[in-house]
A = this chain, B = another copy of it.
């Protein structure tokens, strides 16, 4: 059996009781910090909580060498600890697919994800979010993909959650804003969010280019680019939770 266990957003205490039990009784426990990070903790603290050794998986263990994990899960109960909610990363669904095709039973213990957390932190309505995208470090020409996704979402009046690249190091909001502006995104409002799930998350709404002026502190960072209109409750929440400027009022329909 191969069990994917969501670790939630911030530290080792974001795991569910069910996830903790499942990890403690597994034959082997792995963890991966490739698809996301848990900034508020470290391997030692997680091992202490579980009371056992945890092996760290690299990207190659999850992808081109995934058959090693799958083979092990045929004979034993293997648990993989994953930041956030497992399977939001496509790497995990590919691994789950390979396992099931090999006749290995799989299970998911869900954890909290940035996908839903942004609604609570910003007050933006979850049903108004459109497609999401990742802002990647530019190698050569800046990629237009996130900007195209924002524009597609604007065409149906939806917000856009933008993940920021994690490799080689977690991208911070000023870098992402610069990349988005170079790719042609301007004249819009956005919300920068840092450390979702921690005791001190930072949430700030302003014109996209102004977000560079604000100190969000340490990562992880994400950005929500707002739709072209806001529900009045979204506006009120952004004013209170995210110190949005009063100029935002013009978006209220």
A interface with B by C-beta (< 8 Å): 4, 6, 8-9, 11-18, 20-21, 84-88, 90, 92-94, 96-97, 100-101, 107-108, 110-113, 115-117, 119-121, 123, 125-134, 149, 152-153, 155-156, 158, 196-197, 199, 233, 236-237, 240-241
5 smallest beta-carbon distances between A and B, as pairs: A87-B120, A110-B112, A113-B116, A85-B116, A152-B156
> Given A117-B85, A197-B110, are A90 and B233 also a contact pair (CB < 8 Å)?
yes
**Known: A112-B6, A127-B132. Contact between A119 and B13, CB under 8 A?**
no
Query: Within the oligomer, what is the number of copies of this chain?
Result: 2
Chain B residues whose CB sits within 8 angstroms of the CB of A13 once the complex forms: 16-18, 21
> Which residues of chain B have C-beta atoms less than 8 A from A241's C-beta?
96-97, 100
Bound complex: CA A129 to CA B129 (Å): 9
Q: Closest CB-CB distance, A151 to chain B, in whole Å?
A: 9
Q: Are A127 and B131 in contact (CB under 8 A)?
A: yes
Whether the pair A17, B18 counts as a contact (CB closer than 8 A) is no
A9 to B85, CA, bound (A): 12
Residues of B within 8 A of A18 (CB): 11, 13-14
Name the one of B15, B92, B113 contacting A115, with C-beta atoms under 8 angstroms.
Answer: B113
A53 to chain B, nearest CB (A): 20
B86 touches A120 (CB 8 A): yes
User: What separation, in Å, do the CA atoms of A88 and B119 have in the docked complex?
Assistant: 6
Query: Which residues from chain B contact A116 at a C-beta distance below 8 Å?
Result: 84-85, 87-88, 110, 113, 115-116
Contact assessment for B117 and A110 in the assembled complex, using a CB-CB cutoff below 8 Å: yes
Chain B residues whose CB sits within 8 angstroms of the CB of A86 once the complex forms: 120
Q: How far is the CB of A51 from chain B (nearest CB, A)?
A: 14
Shortest Cβ distance from A118 into B: residue: B87
State the CA gap A97–B235 with chains docked (Å).
11
A208 to B95, CA, bound (A): 28
Q: Please tell me if the beta carbons of A123 and B93 are within 8 angstroms of each other in the complex.
A: yes
In the bound complex, do residue B130 and residue A130 qualify as a contact, i.e. CB atoms below 8 Å apart? Answer: yes
A131 in contact with B128 (CB, 8 Å): yes
How far is A96 from B237 in the complex, measured between Cα atoms in Å? 9
Bound together, the chains give a CA A68 to CA B3 distance in angstroms of 43
Q: Say whether B17 contacts A97, CB under 8 Å.
A: no
